[in-house]
Amino acid sequence: MNRSVNPSYRRRLMQFPRWLVVTILLGLGFPVAVVGQSPSLDEPRSPLPAPDPNEEPVGYLNFSLGTMGGKQFWTDWYHRAGWRIQQNVFSGHYRLLDENNTRHAWGNYSHCLQELNRLQPRDPDADRLPDVVILLHGLGRSRSSWDSLETSLHRDGFRVVDFGYASTRATIDEHADALHHVITHLDNVEHISFVGHSLGNLVVRRYLAKYPPRANERPEHKRMVMLGPPNQGAELARRLRDNAIFYLFGGEPGQQLAREWQDVEPLLATPEFEFGILAGGEDSDFSNPLVRGEDDLIVSLEETRLPGAVDFRHVESMHTFMPWNEEVMRMTRHFLAEGNFESHATRQPIAREPADPFRR
């Protein structure tokens, strides 16, 4: 059917997400009391030990098995030329995957690092591509959401690290630790830029606060593009905080957005380098009745804003689809290259707020 000559078809199509959101979110939005209490947030979860390259290597019998690459339960701790060392969030063991997600080793971190050094001793792109772009997916997503953008960035001359993390199974702080470990072990990097989607932006902001760069330190942070970032929290998460299904699928970061934002927000840094924000949901036919104001079905326009951004754009895209939206990808690539989404003259900066001398 030719949609361009059938306006009624387009209107029905555009209105579909609206009634779908009402049905699903309100249907799932009954208080947890209806289906039983959610697990207690007061019960601490023991964080997994950090990677130790000096421990005695311990490996297990390995068959070169194809994997899914670690969709939800694995976090990357080391990247080299598309190869990754990942940790399982439940067992704590590590595995070594190649660029095709084939497993070449598993055991402790030291064993996987030993095998990586044997099988892929150096990144062949390290000398000719010193500028790296790190991609961070959103809550409940995976590295595959960046496939199209990653291909484009490679063509633009960037070395790309698509950082995968178990977004629903650990805290923002723990994800920031893993990101820091990946960054500090990259070969020959001059500049690092970031592209984050949704929760991925908060992981970067926590990393910047926890591991602030020192003067003249390499690699230097260059630019960042934020896609649909919940920079001011997420009203939707707060509304669904007592929902059992949201607790199950949102995990600890979901609860941090829903219940603990007042504790999390002060721990997030505003980038001191150039950053721009792309907010979704420009088309008014898309809206979520559980979120006040304009929204992309997940976060509101106002929730994406962060003072200090050198450029800001409101684009026609639902939250989920932003990483592979053509306009979003075009603007992202332009910002990484030029520091603006379209041109210097058309920038829409968000002014930084004056420092509060009484804030600690």
Query: Do residues 315 and 280 make contact, with C-beta atoms less than 8 angstroms apart?
Result: yes
pLDDT tens sequence for the chain (360 residues)? 333 334 443 343 344 444 344 434 433 333 333 333 333 333 445 568 789 999 999 999 999 889 999 988 999 999 999 999 999 999 999 999 999 999 999 999 999 999 999 999 999 888 889 999 999 999 999 999 999 999 999 999 999 999 999 999 999 999 999 999 999 999 999 999 999 999 999 999 999 999 998 877 889 999 999 999 999 999 999 998 888 888 888 888 999 999 999 999 999 999 999 999 999 987 656 688 889 999 999 999 999 999 999 999 999 999 999 999 999 999 999 999 999 999 999 999 999 877 665 544
Query: Could you tell me the pTM of the whole model?
Result: 0.86
pLDDT given for residue 38 in this prediction: 38
Query: Is the peptide bond prior to 219 cis by the omega test (within 30 degrees of 0)?
Result: yes
Contacts of 242 (CB under 8 A, 6+ apart): 31, 32, 33, 38
Q: What is the dihedral of CA 238, 242, 246, 250, to 10 degrees?
A: 60
pLDDT given for residue 45 in this prediction: 53
pLDDT given for residue 48 in this prediction: 80
pLDDT given for residue 71 in this prediction: 87
Q: If we measure between CA atoms, which residue out of 339, 341, 338 comes closest to residue 327? A: 341
* Tokens describing residue 64: 């070169």
* Beta pairing class for 131-136 and 191-197: parallel
What domains are there in the chain, each with its CATH number?
A: 62-122 (no CATH), 128-338 (3.40.50.1820)
Q: How far apart are the first and last CA of the chain?
A: 60
